[in-house]
A and B are shown apart, each in its own frame.
Chain A
Amino acid sequence: MIDRALNATSRYHASLWLFLVCCVVATIGAFAIRDLQTASRDAQEMYAGSVHGLQRIGELQYDTQETRRSTLYALTTTDSNLQVEYADQTRAADQRVKDGIAEYRSLAKKPAEIALAGRLARDWANYLNVRDEVLASILEGSTKEAVNLDLSGGVPAFEYVRQDLNEVKHLYDSDASQRLDNLAASWRRASWRLFGTLGFTFLLSGAAVWTIQRSRMLSAIQLAKLQMEFVASVSHELRTPLAVISSAADNLADGLIAGKGSLRKYGAILQHQSRNMGHLINDILLFASTEDGAKHYILQPVQVSAIVDSIVSATEGLIKNAGFTLDRHIEPDLPLVIGDLTGITQCLQNLIGNAIKYGGNVRCISLRAFRAPSDKRPDREVRISVTDQGIGIDHSELSHIFDPFYRSPRVQAAQIHGTGLGLSLAKRIAEAMNGRLSVVSELSAGSTFTLHLNIAKGEEIEMAREVLGLPSSSLL
């Protein structure tokens, strides 16, 4: 099954596969990079947050101590000016603590943090009430009263604050641990994705390389097979007339042929067979020249009527001998087309030859020349079609009939001789003239091959008019 799939896989398919692989790898890689970026950003935020958070908690603890320390410093002097300075210091410190608590409250998200922030603010306010009383007593000069107040109210109130701050730090540490765990998990996830991406890339790349190599190998095998078939077919096609010619020559040499009638008959046989061989060799040479690009066509404006006349003249005898009739439907006033008359004639001759070969019992071939599309679109062209009502082509074979040396198994089974070069040659000629060849076919109903030719325009028409000596209106 794989081989069958690979048989159907051309280089185009392999390239498509490679492109898809690249897309998948790029997508997964993008996810991995995004994960790494997220992890890196988390790490940076965590580091910055931890440093800032710890710094703020440290500042908060320091400022609470500073508030208390400055208050107590005021006890150490009786100089009112110094006491006022200490009062200033303690109030500045307590304002910083209030700001810090407000910041903590605004950042608190978990219920425990919110509750703790509220408790801390309350405990700090309680301490400040005592602190104000102590400070007032110090400034009033009531040192003993200040000490008593501080011991009875200030110390326990400050202890609550200290415990609250310790709890803040503990909660922060827990949160930091949680974030550290999340970060580690994020790193692990990113690493796995990266390894997965690399592994997947390796596997897919290997598969793609294998597919391409296999495809190339199969192509080479197929080409070799086709060439062998071609050699066999050509040998067969050459051997038949050669055998006839050889036999006739032997009879003539042995003097077995007597009489003018017999001689004329043998002469006709030799002439016919040698012409057949000549046509065959011409086909092979033409194919070889188109294969390596040695064949060059001179593209110039050509009248469709000249093409039709040429093809009718070239195939008249063939059609007549085969017992076929040719119906011509040529649209009037067709414009000049761009092409090489010899090439177009060769192309159409191949198509008519095929129509005769595979035309079946309804011995009628239709030759049509018309302009399409019918409206005034700029991409209009002239089409020349050859239609038979013969055996037709299976849909599964339509994509192969233009391959060189391809011969349908059905045709081979029917012992219809050929080299498999006719349609391939016709297609190459059409493309060499910037045209194309298309086919519409139905099994047991017949086939229509259409040659699409570009319409000449501008300077090309002027040139043709001068060459042909015709009025410009007659060329459009």
Chain B
Amino acid sequence: MLRNMAKIAIVTVLIAWPQADAARTPAFIRDPQQAQPSALSEPLAIVVNQSNPVDNLSFRELRRIFLGNQSHWANGRRITLVMRDTDEPESKTILRDVCEMSEDQLKTHYLHGLFTGEILVSPKTLATSMGVRKFIFNVPGAIGYLRKSDVDATVKIVRIDGLDPDDKDYKLRVQPMGANSGE
């Protein structure tokens, strides 16, 4: 029985691999046109606790963190990932541009990681951006994402690949509040 299940899993992985491989390709490389900042988009900032010494993350590190593959910061503090509900535009941006997975894929990924022990804690899901901000303010090892306009002094913005959210080449963007979602 177990052997059959393992076979099914391997087959499933092999079938899904090309898609997953394509999904793993960074958005910056995969679709240069999509990577161009839209005039109607708003930067999505990656934020951490003010006491966190980290100021910059590579995109690869960011992806590892959001996929639960990196569980601790360099100073030894445990990483706590904070996310919004998956139907929020911010979460869609993260799923699409950072995790490069669908919602279900990410759930599966985490279930698998938790089951195998590769991932220590699942992400915390908060209903509002204010909740995200307060959570990160209270937890030194927390990391999450907020619209640039929702960021205040209680949290710290982390540069991604040396880019600030206000930089022209900053890639993580989300539709402005109130705009119709085309996705």
Contacts and interface: CB of A to CB of B under 8 A. Distances in A.
B134 A140 contact: no
A84 B121 contact: no
B124 A87 contact: no
Interface in A83-142: 83-84, 87-88, 91, 132, 135-136, 139-142
Given A81-B131, A84-B126, A84-B131, A135 B121 contact: no
Interface residues of B, number: 17
Interface string B15-32: 000000000000000000
B121 A140 contact: yes
Interface stretch (B138-146, B158-166, B173-181): B138-146
A141 B134 contact: no
A7 interface: no
B139 A136 contact: yes
B80 interface: yes
Given A139-B80, A140-B78, A140-B80, A84 B125 contact: no
B126 A87 contact: no
A136 B140 CA distance: 7
B6 interface: no
Interface in B121-137: 121, 124-128, 131, 134-135
A16 B131 CA distance: 87
B179 to A, nearest CB: 25
Nearest to B83: A80
Contacts of A81: 126-128, 131
Interface in B85-137: 121, 124-128, 131, 134-135
Nearest to B78: A140
A139 B131 contact: no
Given A84-B134, A87-B134, A88-B134, A140 B141 contact: yes
Contacts of B139: 136, 139-140
B81 to A, nearest CB: 10
Given A139-B80, A140-B78, A140-B121, A87 B138 contact: yes
Contacts of B82: 80
A452 B71 CA distance: 122
Nearest to A135: B138
A177 B145 CA distance: 58
Nearest to A139: B139
B121 to A, nearest CB: 6
Given A83-B135, A88-B134, A142-B78, 16 more contacts: A80-B82, A80-B131, A81-B126, A81-B131, A84-B131, A84-B138, A91-B138, A132-B138, A136-B138, A136-B140, A139-B80, A139-B135, A139-B139, A140-B78, A140-B139, A141-B124
16 contacts: A80-B82, A80-B124, A80-B126, A84-B126, A84-B131, A84-B134, A87-B134, A87-B138, A88-B134, A136-B140, A139-B135, A139-B139, A140-B121, A140-B139, A140-B141, A141-B124
